[in-house]
């Protein structure tokens, strides 16, 4: 009695299809990191403290000093 053994096929990752999403996620991540790390600090795009208060807890969670 013989048993058929299934050999796993290699998984192909279509880089050209994934690249736009990877770039989008990378840019979005950098934008979020900007707001969490430096907004309302030395370089501020917005006046007031609204953005600072929105990301205040995230700054402490990630170890960024803010006060």
pLDDT band at 2 (very low <50, low <70, confident <90, very high): confident
In a domain, 45, yes or no: yes
Distance CA 40, CA 55 (A): 10
What was the pLDDT predicted at 41? 62
- What is the percentage of the chain residues whose pLDDT exceeds 70? 88
In a domain, 5, yes or no: no
* pLDDT, tens digit (0-9, with 9 covering 90-100), for 22-51: 999 999 999 888 877 776 666 677 777 777
Q: What is the pTM of this model?
A: 0.61
The encoded tokens of residue 20 equal 């736009």
What range defines the domain where residue 21 resides? 16-62
In a domain, 41, yes or no: yes
Distance CA 46, CA 35 (A): 10
pLDDT band at 57 (very low <50, low <70, confident <90, very high): confident
Which stretches within the chain are classed as H helix?
15-37, 50-54, 56-62
Distance CA 47, CA 10 (A): 53
In the chain, the number of structural domains is 1
In a domain, 23, yes or no: yes
In a domain, 2, yes or no: no
Closest CA to 39 of 67, 63, 66: 66
């Amino acid at each position: 009695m013989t048993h058929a053994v299934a050999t796993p096929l290699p998984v192909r990752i279509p880089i050209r299809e994934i690249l736009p999403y990877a770039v989008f996620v990378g840019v979005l991540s950098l934008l979020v990191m900007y707001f969490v790390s430096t907004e309302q600090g030395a370089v501020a795009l917005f006046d007031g403290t609204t953005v600072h208060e929105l990301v205040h807890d995230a700054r402490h969670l990630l170890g960024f000093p803010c006060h």
